[in-house]
Chains A and B, each alone.
Chain A
Amino acid sequence: MLQQQRGRVGEFLGGTRAILPLIVALVPIGLVFGAVSATKGLSALEAVLMSALVFAGGSQFVAMDIWTHPASWSAVAFAALLVNMRHVLMGASIGTKMASFKGVRKYIAVLFLADEIWAVSEFKAGRDRLTPLWFAGVAAPFYAAWVGSTLAGAMLGAFLGDPAVIGLDFAFPAVFVVLVMGFWKGRETGAVLIASGATAVLVQHFVPGVWYIAAGALVGLVAALWSGRAGTVAA
């Protein structure tokens, strides 16, 4: 009994260990989000509510970019839909790896599908079995860190200064670069990366807003399908 309990705790902590470096990278981003929201006139309570209920950093920053007074719910909701469209793909991918999530657990789990949580879970599923407890060990501290650092940022506000000076704004892209390297599986991956990257850069240059994320991801997928088919024909 005790041993079983220890095993369960160990599984939860295994998830926490996997997400820990990403939490270190997340906290400065949360602080910045809190501070930016304060400059846009949001109260600390409002900033914390947004982080707790939306829990999707990219769309929250975009919302701050286009924030108006009074707030336009349709504008920020549409922006969130667009920025987070990648979650449809992410959910579709991770959903196929959640065989041990019973009943409603799968649906509860995907509600916490922030980029970082999703990425470490994909990593785990590629090497081992993804379990609900391990996932909880990833999601719970990450969620707490996002909401907590938002609160701290909103209260400290202007004291924080410009994060670009010490390069902290680069922590998030740097994490993604590391993750991309981890998903390398050979030449097909190269085709996907080139297609997705080139499309994203082009679309971002010519189309205002955040269409580039959805566009890049979709063209990357098409490249995968196309190179997969070409491989079948050649074989």
Chain B
Amino acid sequence: MTLDLHTLLAILAMAAATVFTRLSGLLLVRHVGMDDGMRSAIEAIPPAVLMAVIAPTAFATGWAETIACLVTALAARRLPMLASVALGVLTVALLRAAGL
């Protein structure tokens, strides 16, 4: 169990950066007026952020990942989350094993 000084500094700097991003959104909406445009923009935040995170995996990694994302998305319309995720993981494992 060692704790290197440079490593500790790096961890603290990362933590500070993360705390800054998490708090500043909250502070931002306190000082911005709420009109309809603002409200529709805030409503669009969840899908916009989620999509940006997964898009490279879903569309630009390989066929296995793209197909598995599609399977997961279709499953999510009917099945609970855990089942959909399990189906997606199974699909990607099978397709990779098949060499896709």
Contacts and interface: CB of A to CB of B under 8 A. Distances in A.
A193 B45 contact: no
B45 A21 contact: no
B16 A77 contact: yes
A173 interface: yes
Contacts of B72: 174, 177-178
B13 A76 contact: yes
A233 to B, nearest CB: 12
Contacts of A179: 46, 50
Contacts of A133: none
Contacts of B34: 96
Main SS of chain B's interface residues?
helix
Interface string A204-224: 110000001111111111011
Given A71-B6, A216-B55, A183 B50 contact: yes
Interface residues of B, number: 71
A21 B16 CA distance: 29
A171 B15 contact: no
A35 B41 CA distance: 39
A212 B56 contact: yes
A200 B76 contact: no
A174 B47 CA distance: 14
A70 B6 contact: yes
B60 A88 contact: no
B51 A196 contact: yes
B89 A107 contact: no
Interface of A: 21-22, 24-25, 42-46, 49-50, 53-56, 58-60, 63, 70-74, 76-78, 80-81, 84-96, 106-107, 110-111, 113, 115, 119, 122, 164-168, 170-171, 173-185, 188-189, 192-193, 195-201, 204-205, 212-221, 223-225, 228-229, 232
23 contacts: A24-B82, A42-B7, A73-B9, A76-B14, A78-B17, A80-B14, A81-B21, A89-B45, A91-B25, A95-B25, A107-B23, A111-B22, A168-B89, A170-B93, A174-B84, A176-B53, A177-B73, A180-B54, A196-B47, A213-B52, A216-B53, A221-B41, A221-B48
Given A81-B17, A200-B53, A217-B52, 9 more contacts: A45-B3, A46-B4, A59-B17, A63-B14, A92-B28, A173-B58, A180-B50, A196-B47, A197-B59
